[in-house]
Chain A
Amino acid sequence: MHELSICQSIIEQVTEISRQNNARIVTKIYIQIGPLSGVEALLLEHAFPVASAGSIAQNAILEIQILPIKIHCNICGNENTADISKLICSACGAWQTSLISGDEMLLKSVELEKFEEKSNV
């Protein structure tokens, strides 16, 4: 379950970002992952409360977007989506393809509640 380590890393990053932005709490964390990153969204969601407990992101909403696997064929130039275990060209059947997207593991953005501004939460 490396998702716990990954959540801990996310908490470290958002804690630092909050500090830089003079934020009181983190309200939302947007993440993008591709299936080929090896990170499971469900496991990430399960690990998040454990990793965030007591942190500035304790009550944050974790929003995970899964990106599709897209490949480019190095033989015929076709672009298509693909299954995680079959990264082959749908036009010519070649396996010589390059990944365009699908292995992302990205902290995209965070939403912060700042100290100076009174907000209605």
Chain B
Amino acid sequence: MCDTCGCNVTEGNRNLIETGGKHAKTSEGNEAVEVLQNLLHENNHRAAHNREHFDKHQVLAINLMSSPGSGKTALLEATIDALNTIRINTNDKLSIAVIEGDLETENDAQRIRDRNTPAIQITTGSACHLDAYMVHDALHELDLDNLDIIFIENVGNLVCPASFDLGHHLNVTLLSVTEGDDKPAKYPVMFRGSNLTLITKADLLPFLDDFDVSKAEKNIRNLANPAPVFQISARKSNDSSLEKQGINEWIEWLKQQIKQYKTHLKLGETVLPMIQKDHLHNSSHPHEH
């Protein structure tokens, strides 16, 4: 189907491809075969198929990643509540569904279902990340018609999920204020690929003297990532007249992303998460399957 599709040709290895023949003999008389495939070639193909699936139904898929307990599920709960309020007040309806990845337990999916929102739980057992196959299986349990956004809550882990394309369109990474503002520098692979970083549990900022939001942002810029950084809290403010901090900005961002996504679809294009982009820029030939 696509033995050497060139999806991994970068400046760093282009010369190898242009010089070497495909087959050669080694000094021991063995056969050397040039391959030049991504180490996760099969996963990436499955991911591309998932993306086609999403695009056919015009559903924006967002991969939510963070350390364990940074507030991914709480963010989803607050998002559902905010969307409900918007629907009641303005009749402006956004439909979402959630795919929950966890090592064990159905807890997170149940928290979403308790808010009358469809949720599929994937329990990964020992796997510390979701892959495109797991997401594909979950997709078959979901009705994609009439959905605007699918959130995929990845396994809480700042390392492994970053390497796996799920077929989603956008990466959103959460960094809770209790984790420290140096985390983007310590987990560069994850934060380099974020289309949006949410500084979560911002309601706790007044109690912490060592989390500097501008430092966190600077560490993200040091990864050459221009994506926005928002502060957000899933907790209701003590002053009940106030909105939950940052939620409106987040919802506006989501609406903007849906708009841009649909514009791309109209042009016959899709949207690729930040991590995958550099590969595309460096790959000059069309990708056929």
Give A residues with C-beta under 8 Å from B.
1-2, 5-6, 9-10, 12-13, 17, 21, 23, 27-28, 31-34, 36-39, 67-68, 70-71, 84-88, 95-114, 117, 119-121
Known: A36-B188, A97-B224. A17 touches B39 (CB 8 A): no
Chain B 201-237, CB-CB to A under 8 Å as 1, else 0, gives 0000000000000000001011110100000000000
CA distance A38 to B128 in the complex (A): 14
Q: Is the Cβ of A105 less than 8 Å from the Cβ of B40?
A: yes
Chain B 97-135, CB-CB to A under 8 Å as 1, else 0, gives 000000000000000000000000000000111010000
Known: A5-B131, A23-B31. A87 touches B40 (CB 8 A): no
Q: Which residues of A contact B29 (CB under 8 A)?
A: 117, 119-120
CA distance A96 to B42 in the complex (A): 32
Q: Which residues of A contact B127 (CB under 8 A)?
A: 2, 5
Q: How far is the CB of A69 from chain B (nearest CB, A)?
A: 10
Chain B 20-46, CB-CB to A under 8 Å as 1, else 0, gives 000000101111111111111111000
Q: How far is the CB of A1 from chain B (nearest CB, A)?
A: 7
Q: How far is the CB of B131 from chain A (nearest CB, A)?
A: 7
Q: How far is the CB of B125 from chain A (nearest CB, A)?
A: 12
CA distance A112 to B28 in the complex (A): 10
Give B residues with C-beta under 8 Å from A.
8, 10-13, 16, 26, 28-43, 127-129, 131, 159-160, 162-164, 184-186, 188-190, 192, 219, 221-224, 226, 275, 278-279, 281-282
Q: Which residues of A contact B192 (CB under 8 A)?
A: 36, 87
Known: A6-B39, A98-B224, A99-B224. A84 touches B12 (CB 8 A): no
Q: Is the Cβ of B281 less than 8 Å from the Cβ of A112?
A: no
Q: Is the Cβ of A113 less than 8 Å from the Cβ of B41?
A: no
Q: Knowing that A17-B33, A105-B8 touch, tell me 16 more A-B residue pairs with CB under 8 angstroms.
A: A5-B127, A9-B42, A13-B42, A32-B13, A36-B192, A38-B163, A39-B163, A68-B12, A71-B224, A97-B224, A100-B11, A100-B282, A104-B8, A106-B37, A107-B36, A114-B31
Q: Is the Cβ of B13 less than 8 Å from the Cβ of A110?
A: no
CA distance A102 to B279 in the complex (A): 11
Q: Is the Cβ of A85 less than 8 Å from the Cβ of B223?
A: yes
CA distance A9 to B128 in the complex (A): 16
Q: Which residues of B contact A6 (CB under 8 A)?
A: 39-40, 163
CA distance A17 to B23 in the complex (A): 12
Q: Is the Cβ of A12 less than 8 Å from the Cβ of B188?
A: no
Q: Is the Cβ of A86 less than 8 Å from the Cβ of B222?
A: yes
For the complex of A and B, the 5 pairs showing the least CB-CB separation, nearest first, are A101-B12, A2-B160, A38-B189, A87-B224, A85-B185
Known: A1-B160, A37-B163. A105 touches B39 (CB 8 A): yes
